[in-house]
Amino acid sequence: MTAILERLRKNDRAAIFSRCKQKELKKGEIIFNEGSDAESLYFILKGEIRIFKNIGLDKEITIFTRTKNDAFGEIGIFSGTRYSNTAVAAKSSQVQCIDKHTMENIIAQNGEIGLHFTRWVAESLEASKAKMRDYIAFGSEGAVASVFIRFSNMYGIVTPRGIRIKQQIRLSDVSKHLGISRETVSRIVNKWKEDGIIQSENKFFLIANIAYLQNLLACNHCALENCTL
């Protein structure tokens, strides 16, 4: 999915940034908590932000991750008075922060910016809905397959042996994405290794049989264009 800042014209970005405050975030720093007042929208200049929801004692499910040139906090800003999820810096990050009412005024005065935000939010909701479908409708194996497919779409390189994923995948991170135990993820991944579906070396994975993972999720019937995390 195209990041929101990449959709905007240079002068529109400048108009927004002129009303922002810059913040430096350390890895692990909480930006806002689920249920807190939705006061700001955040634009990412560098780093990575993880948006998640608590679903029980020590259990989380990742709603999405956002990186450079994207934004977060939009659900609380555009559809309610409180944030519906928690945001944490997955890496050391730098963001621009704009007040809710200021952003609303900019959108009200500039229809083109408003149209870009409308499309961005709609695509984001569609992508999140598809992820939740994968995670819930196809069991634990389907859920893990969904994460690996999305990693391959974001970081994969096609090789004669299969799709090599350039980004390291930690099983603990996969379990956080899905809200299932690390042991369950490990059992599924080990089975795939035994069956020759995937290979791994130092947390770098190669998907040797992407068709198997796609069949688990009925990908041939999916119209989603932005199948990412």
- Alpha carbons 64 and 44: distance in angstroms, whole number: 14
For residue 48, the one-letter residue type is E
Contact in structure between 113 and 12 (CB atoms under 8 Å): yes
What is the largest distance, in Å, between two alpha-carbon atoms of the chain? Answer: 58
In percent, the amount of the chain with pLDDT more than 70 equals 97
Residue 134 has pLDDT above 90, yes or no: no
CA 14 to chain centre: 25
Q: What is the pLDDT of residue 225?
A: 63
Length of the chain (residues): 229
pLDDT digits (tens, 9 = 90+) for 64-113: 899 999 999 998 778 778 998 999 999 999 999 999 999 999 999 999 99
pLDDT at 63: 87
pLDDT digits (tens, 9 = 90+) for 13-26: 999 999 999 999 99
The span from the CA of 47 to the CA of 38, in Å, is 22
Give the mean pLDDT of 36-56: 93
Are 77 and 120 a contacting pair, CB within 8 Å? no
Element (H, E) at 132: helix 111-137
Q: What pLDDT shows up at residue 61? A: 85
Spatial distance between the Cα atoms of 189 and 206, rounded to a whole number of angstroms? 12
- Global confidence as pTM: 0.81
| pLDDT tens per residue across span 141-196 | 999 999 999 899 889 999 999 999 998 999 988 988 888 889 999 999 999 999 99
Closest by CA position to 88, among listed 39, 174, 30 = 30
Q: Given this model, what pLDDT does residue 221 score?
A: 65
pLDDT at 227 over 70: yes
Q: Is the pLDDT at 226 greater than 70, yes or no?
A: no
User: What pLDDT does residue 223 have?
Assistant: 60
The encoded tokens of residue 63 equal 């709603």
Instruction: Please enumerate in sequence order all residues whose Cβ is within 8 A of that of 201, keeping only pairs 6 or more positions apart, or say none.
Output: none
SS3 180: coil
Q: How far apart are CA 108 and CA 114, in angstroms?
A: 7
The phi, psi pair for 224, rounded to 5°, reads -70, 130
> Tokens standing for 146?
């969904």
Note whether 144 and 212 are within 8 A (CB): no
Nearest to 174 by CA among 141, 199, 200, 198: 141
Say how far apart CA 76 and CA 103 lie, in whole Å.
Answer: 13
